Structure 1
Amino acid sequence: MNILILGAAGRIGRLLTADLLAQTPYNLVLYAKNANVRLKGEKSERVKIVDGDFKELDALVNAMNEVDIVYINDLGDDQSTRTIIEAMKKAGVKRVIGASILGIYDEVPGEFGRWNKRMIGSSPRMQTQINSARIIEDSGLDYTLLRLTWLYDQEGNRDYVLTEKGDPFRSTQVTREAVAQLIVDVVMAKDERFIGKSLGVGEPDTEWDKPSFY
Structure 2
Amino acid sequence: MTNVLIIGATGTIAQFTREFLEDDATIKVFPYVRNIDKLDNQSNAIVGDATDESQLVEAIRNNHIDIVYSNLGPYHMVEMAQSVLGAIQATNVKRIIWIATSGIYDELPASHQELAKEQLGETSDADSYLGDQRLAADMVAESGLDYTIIRPNWLQNGDEVQDVRITHRNDQLSGGPINRITVGSFIADLIRQPNQYIDDSIAVSTDSDEDY
**What TM-score does the superposition give when structure 1 sets the normalisation length?**
0.88
**Distance in 1 separating the partners of 2:210 and 2:168:** 16
Q: After superposition, where does 1:151-190 map in structure 2 within 5 Å?
A: 151-189=155-193
2:16 paired residue number: 15
Q: Tell me how far 1:53 sits from its aligned partner.
A: 1.1
Specify whether residues 97 and 24 from structure 1 end up closer, same or farther in structure 2 by C-alpha distance, changes over 3 A only: farther
Q: Is the 8 A contact 2:81 2:139 kept in 1?
A: yes
2:69 paired residue number: 71
- What is the DSSP-based 3-state SS (H/G/I as helix, E as strand, rest coil) of the residue aligned with 2:22? helix
Specify whether residues 127 and 24 from structure 1 end up closer, same or farther in structure 2 by C-alpha distance, changes over 3 A only: farther
Q: Tell me how far 1:25 sits from its aligned partner.
A: 3.0
Q: Is the 8 A contact 2:4 2:68 kept in 1?
A: yes
Q: Give, as a single letter, the amino acid of the residue that structure 1 aligns with 2:151.
A: R
Q: Is the 8 A contact 1:172 1:203 kept in 2?
A: yes
Do residues 49 (structure 1) and 45 (structure 2) align?
yes
- What is the DSSP-based 3-state SS (H/G/I as helix, E as strand, rest coil) of the residue aligned with 1:29? strand
Q: Tell me how far 1:144 sits from its aligned partner.
A: 0.2
2:102 paired residue number: 102
**Distance in 2 separating the partners of 1:24 and 1:151:** 30
Deviations 1:91-115 (A, max 9, x none): 1111000000011111112213333
Q: Is the 8 A contact 1:112 1:170 kept in 2?
A: no
Q: Give, as a single letter, the amino acid of the residue that structure 2 aligns with 1:131.
A: L
2:207 paired residue number: 204
RMSD: 1.7
- What is the DSSP-based 3-state SS (H/G/I as helix, E as strand, rest coil) of the residue aligned with 1:22? coil
- What is the DSSP-based 3-state SS (H/G/I as helix, E as strand, rest coil) of the residue aligned with 1:185? helix
Q: Tell me how far 1:153 sits from its aligned partner.
A: 1.1
Specify whether residues 15 and 205 from structure 1 end up closer, same or farther in structure 2 by C-alpha distance, changes over 3 A only: same
Identity rate, percent: 28
Q: Tell me how far 1:126 sits from its aligned partner.
A: 1.1
Q: Tell me how far 1:125 sits from its aligned partner.
A: 1.8
Q: Tell me how far 1:42 sits from its aligned partner.
A: 0.7
Count of residues paired in the alignment: 203
Gaps of 5+ in 2: none
Deviations 1:71-99 (A, max 9, x none): 01025421111110000011111100000
Q: Give, as a single letter, the amino acid of the residue that structure 2 aligns with 1:32.
A: V
Q: Is the 8 A contact 1:60 1:84 kept in 2?
A: yes
Shift >6 Å, 4+ stretches: none
**Distance in 1 separating the partners of 2:4 and 2:29:** 5
